[in-house]
């Protein structure tokens, strides 16, 4: 230690970096965290948390509409976007302060500045100070990707700016078909904006189960959101406070805002990685790491979105904790990235864990599908035209539940519990033996008795 100022230097004060710093400090390490912007990272400052707050707020309009069917007469209401933004900012500031306090309580030191590599053990801070570290953890996260340069790209906002708009746009065009694009489509539509989603593929939510993709699109379109697939934005013209978005299919759209949510890229630029000898994964542009989150340099590790493995906050937290236990706790821990539950806070909400139907059929010879679509009990009184989708993917040989997919209210809350069962390798018989909790939507998960379809892969015939 005599040759080093700190045992661990963490670049990035997001959820993963903070967890690693706190656990390492708890193991007795001397830790410094450098954060050039705000403690909390993408999730707390400009991602999951403010997004979920906006989603919750946008649901209120639907709740008011649905209330009539239950006997409520509600006078005309009004919504104030600046109030929402201001109250969100207060909550984010509170969380940022909590993150800072928790790191400091652990004994780690925070440097509110940018840090870059001078060599594998030396970090230079923007203040001019240099710090020698035995180990370095890169946890710089990711940033929105605007894609190829097009005329008028300077007029386009990302999810970062969407949280700080001065006013709610009457009309907004959103390019992208992933969870960020669809979540903001639901948010803006819920607050009263006219929303059009543009996606280059044949359908939204690429990588999700096909039934989920079709169901979400149908439900979003029922709620008045226009979804145009098979095309892209080619140019954006500005006319005062309005924009004209030109599409590859020859059409154009007028709006007050144009937002791109077409993916995110790892924050690896201008960190001095080449000086430290840290290699980039050529397949995804993130920092190349092994199963222990170790980079190509033995004392430098990377976790979270900057590795571009599984870009989810709980994954970064788990990776950060495992790193600290392995390196400083003398308790080797490898993160198991299988069966990670995930949610899309679109409207309707999506929750999934495990394999899609297509993935299961590619990996297993016998696959049983159990699927149901039904009108939720609330809709029978509210009169809303909406349906819930639930689907189980089962290994037809072992009876193990390989995947679960839910679209509907509280899908994320439900899938968290189901994920425990899937992780424990529960069988369909285990689900069947579980008492239903009535009346709930989730009871359908344990009452689907007959397969919707059974797939059997034919063995190859010898020539």
**Residue 238 Cα distances to 165, 244, 366, 436, angstroms:** 17, 6, 55, 56
Helices then strands, each counted (H, E), the chain: 13, 22
- Distance spanning both ends of the chain, measured CA to CA: 67
**Residues identified as active-site:** 438
Strands (DSSP E) found in 12-78 = 31-34
DSSP annotation of 217 reads H
Looking at beta carbons, which pairs linking 229-233 to residues 24 or more positions away fall under 8 Å? 229/177, 229/199, 229/200, 229/201, 229/202, 229/203, 229/204, 230/199, 230/200, 230/201, 230/202, 231/198, 231/200, 232/175, 232/198, 232/200, 233/150, 233/173, 233/175, 233/198, 233/258, 233/260
Question: What is the CA angle 287-262-95, rounded to 5?
Answer: 70
Q: How far apart are CA 180 and CA 160, in angstroms?
A: 11
DSSP annotation of 393 reads E
Contact 34, 117 (CB under 8 A): no
Q: How far apart are CA 5 and CA 385, in angstroms?
A: 63
């Amino acid at each position: 230690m005599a040759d080093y100022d700190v045992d661990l230097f963490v670049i990035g004060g997001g959820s993963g970096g903070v967890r690693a710093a706190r656990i390492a400090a708890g193991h007795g390490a001397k830790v410094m965290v450098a954060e050039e912007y705000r403690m909390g990272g993408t999730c707390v400052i400009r991602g999951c948390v403010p997004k979920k707050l906006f989603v919750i707020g946008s649901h209120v309009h639907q709740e008011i509409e649905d209330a009539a069917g239950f006997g409520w007469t509600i006078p005309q209401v009004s919504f104030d976007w600046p109030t929402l933004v201001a109250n969100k900012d207060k909550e984010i500031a509170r969380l940022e302060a909590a993150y800072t306090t928790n790191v400091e309580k652990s004994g780690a030191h925070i440097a509110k500045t940018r840090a870059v590599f001078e060599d594998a053990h030396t970090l230079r801070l923007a203040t001019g100070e240099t710090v020698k570290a035995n180990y370095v953890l890169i946890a710089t996260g990711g940033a929105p990707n605007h894609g190829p340069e097009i005329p008028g790209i300077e007029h386009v906002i990302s999810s970062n700016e969407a949280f700080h708009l001065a006013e709610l746009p009457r009309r907004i065009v959103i390019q992208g078909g992933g969870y960020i694009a669809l979540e903001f489509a639901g948010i803006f539509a819920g607050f009263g904006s006219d929303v059009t989603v543009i996606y280059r593929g044949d359908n939204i939510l690429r990588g999700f189960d096909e039934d989920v993709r079709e169901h979400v699109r149908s439900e979003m379109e029922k709620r008045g959101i226009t979804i145009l697939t098979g095309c892209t934005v080619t140019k954006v013209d500005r006319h005062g406070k309005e924009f004209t978005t030109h599409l590859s299919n020859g059409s154009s759209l007028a709006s007050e805002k144009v937002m791109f949510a077409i993916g995110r890229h790892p924050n690896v630029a201008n960190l001095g990685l080449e000086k430290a000898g840290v290699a980039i994964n050529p397949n995804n542009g993130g920092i190349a790491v092994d199963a222990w989150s170790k980079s190509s340099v033995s004392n430098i590790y990377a976790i979270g979105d900057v590795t571009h493995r599984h870009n989810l906050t709980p994954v970064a937290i788990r990776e950060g904790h495992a790193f600290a236990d392995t390196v400083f706790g003398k308790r080797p821990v490898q993160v198991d990235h299988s069966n990670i539950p995930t949610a899309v806070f679109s409207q309707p909400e999506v929750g999934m864990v495990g394999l899609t139907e297509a993935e299961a059929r590619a990996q297993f010879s016998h696959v049983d599908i159990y699927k149901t679509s039904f009108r939720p009990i609330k809709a029978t009184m509210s009169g809303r035209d909406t349906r819930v989708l639930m689907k189980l993917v089962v290994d037809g040989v072992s009876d193990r539940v390989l995947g679960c997919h839910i679209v509907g209210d509280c899908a994320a809350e439900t899938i968290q519990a189901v994920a425990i069962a899937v992780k424990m390798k529960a069988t369909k018989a285990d689900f069947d033996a579980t008492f239903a909790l009535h009346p709930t939507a989730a009871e359908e998960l344990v009452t689907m008795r007959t397969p919707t379809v059974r797939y059997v892969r034919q063995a190859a015939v010898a020539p």
